[in-house]
Amino acid sequence: MSTRIAAVLFDLDGTLLDTAVDMIPALNQVRVEQGAAPLPYDLARTQVSHGSTGLLRLAFPGLEGAPFEALRARLLDLYAARIATATTPFPGFEAVLPEIERRGMRWGIVTNKPAFLTTPLLAALGLDRRAGVVVSGDTLPERKPHPAPLLHAAHWLSLDPAACVYVGDAERDVQSARAAGMPVLVARYGYLGPDDDPDAWAADAHIADPAGLLHWLDAR
C-alpha cells in the first residue's frame, strides 16, 4: 500500500510561478547594454528554469570567467529590481493551492533560486505566509539535483519523504526527488526546451496543468 501523501513541494520557476515574464526582460536589457539584439521570448523561456547561469549561457555563448560573472551580477540586479512586476502563479493554482489547504495538506517550495530573490518574490505575491516551508538555493550547501534540499523540507514539515510529492519541470527535480525517496511529478506546462526529454526522466507521472496534481492525488 502506498504511503499517504501529506504535503506537496513545488519547484518555483516554471512550476509554481511563471517568472519568465520578469526574468527575460532583465536578460534582454543586459543584451541591449552589450550591443546585442534582444532574444526571442520563446527561445529564452526554455532556459528560465536553469536560472541566471543558463540564461546567460544562451545569451552570451562562449563567455567565461570574470566577464561572465560581471554580466550575471548585472542580470541579477536588474531582475531583483523587477522581481514581481508581472510574475504570477501559473493559471490554475488559484484553485489548486486552496484545495490542497482545504484537504489539510501542507505545501512548500524547494528551489535553486537564491533566498535574496526567493524571499521578496514570495512576499510580494503573499505566498510566504502560506507556504509551510521554503528551501532556497543557498539554504543548504547542496542544491538540486542533490537530495538534501528535499530531505530538509520534509524534515522541517516533520514528514517522511515518501509522504511528500515533489513537482518540478527539470530533470534535476526528478533526480533530486528520486534520491530523496520522494514521488515526483513533471510539470509539462513548465519551461521545457526542445532538448529536454521528460519521458526519459522516470517520473511517477506528468501533469499538463496544475489541476493535474489534484487528479494524481485523487487517483492514488
| Cell numbers linked to 192 | 521545457
Q: Residues 190, 152: one domain?
A: yes
Q: Residues 119, 24: one domain?
A: no
Q: Residues 91, 58: one domain?
A: no
Question: Does 1 fall in a domain?
Answer: no
Q: What is the DSSP string of 113-169?
A: S-HHHHHHHHHHTT-TTT-S-EE-TTSSS--TTSSHHHHHHHHHTT--GGGEEEEES
Q: Residues 111, 52: one domain?
A: no
Mean pLDDT (whole number) for 117-129: 98
DSSP state of 13: B
Question: Does 172 fall in a domain?
Answer: yes
Question: Does 133 fall in a domain?
Answer: yes
Question: Does 2 fall in a domain?
Answer: no
| Cell numbers linked to 72 | 550575471
pLDDT for residue 1 is more than 80: no
The answer to whether the Cα torsion of 19, 10, 118, 88 is positive or negative is: positive
Please report which confidence band the pLDDT of residue 29 belongs to, taking 50, 70 and 90 as the band edges: very high
pLDDT for residue 69 is more than 60: yes
Number of domains in the chain: 2
11 noted as active-site residue: yes
pTM for the model: 0.97
Catalytic residue among 11, 13, 22, 169: 11
Mean pLDDT (whole number) for 184-200: 96
Question: Where in the sequence is the domain holding 144, given as residue range(s)?
Answer: 7-18+87-219
Query: CATH number, domain at 191?
Result: 3.40.50.1000
Question: Does 189 fall in a domain?
Answer: yes
